[in-house]
Amino acid sequence: MKKIGLFFFLVSSFTFAQKSALEQKINAITEGKKATVGVSVLGFENNFKYHKNGDKPLPTLSVFKFHIACAVLDLVDKGKLSLDQNIFFKKEDMLPNTWSPIGKKYPEGNVSIPLGEVLDYTVAQSDNNGCDMLLKLIGGTQTVQNFMDSKGVKGFQIKRNEDDMHKNWKTQYDNYSTPNSAVLVLKKFYDGKLISKKSTEYLMKIMIGTTTGTNKIVEQLPKNTPVAHKTGSSGKYDNGLTVAENDMGIITLPNGKHYAIAVFVSNSTETDAVNCKVVSDISKAVWDDFNK
């Protein structure tokens, strides 16, 4: 066998063994769980790929705020919006009984907040009122869908805002992504193929500062590991059903290389703690695999 052929044979053999070992670990984590678990992993530098239910459309919940932020920043890149412009929140913009640090800080509304700050609230703190204000600003969910379609993002759909989903929880299923779509859109983002370099760096910094989901993909990783991620969580509904407990992100390894991971736990009747531990354990298994 020629040297080049032997090299590729050894690389492919190693990749197969790596996938097989990781698959065994992930299957052990998900075995017996009353949930659909979607996982996708993509190594940026070595193009390593692994997925479980990777092409299955699963509800995104607040993971879609990443896609919304990209659509907003695209308009900033085009000069149609400015991060410094003030966004005015009326009292009626503060939805009751929803997760909103903005609403907690300004319960009476009637406040102007710079667009950049609203983006930070929406992504890093997963603010629902900030999310719907951004959608109102850019013309609704169809603007986000059109932007993602224009960038060749497949396996993603957004039709509902936070207000819609709070009025009828079943509409949460109208917003979905496949796990494979999630890691591929993160790769496009990282490569600067979604928004400008300046906006990419800006949003990356916000995502690294995410404060939600500390018991998900970041939980078991070494302290201070750079993780640019976006979480999503539905809460419980009929018969203890969790529509989704999600996290997706870009992980920077100690050697400076990167991978994207998406773990979506859907239609689960497990406890919140079990759902989050599934995400956390899978993230740790992937981390260990990349750091052998």
User: Which one is catalytic: 40, 100, 162, 270?
Assistant: 162
For the question of residue 150 being annotated catalytic, the response is no
User: pTM (2 decimals)?
Assistant: 0.93
- Give the C-alpha distances (Å, rounded to integers) separating 256 from 40, 45, 171: 21, 10, 40
| CATH superfamily entry for domain 21-291 | DD-peptidase/beta-lactamase superfamily (3.40.710.10)
Active-site annotation holder among 40, 62, 177, 181: 62
- Of residues 7 and 186, the one with the higher pLDDT is 186
Give SS3 for 236. strand
What stretches of 168-230 show up as alpha helix (H) in DSSP? 179-190, 197-208
Contacts of 150 (CB under 8 A, 6+ apart): none
- Burial degree of 167 (CB within 10 A; 0-12, 13-18, 19+): exposed
Q: Strand, coil or helix: what is 103?
A: helix
Cα–Cα distance for residue pair 236/286, rounded to 1 Å: 28
Q: What is the pLDDT of residue 21?
A: 87
- Tens digit of each residue's pLDDT (9 = 90 or more) over 45-56: 999 999 999 999
- The residue among 291, 290, 292 whose CA lies nearest residue 50 is 290
Half-sphere exposure of 245 (CA within 13 A, CB side): 28
pLDDT in tens, 222-239: 999 999 999 999 999 988
CB-neighbour burial class of residue 101 (10 A; exposed 0-12, middle 13-18, buried 19+): middle
Question: How many angstroms from the chain centroid is the CA of residue 46?
Answer: 22
What per-residue confidence (pLDDT) applies to 4? 54
Q: Is 162 a catalytic residue?
A: yes
Q: Which residues of 119-132 are buried (b: 16+ CB within 10 A; e: fewer)?
A: bbbbbbbbbbbbbb
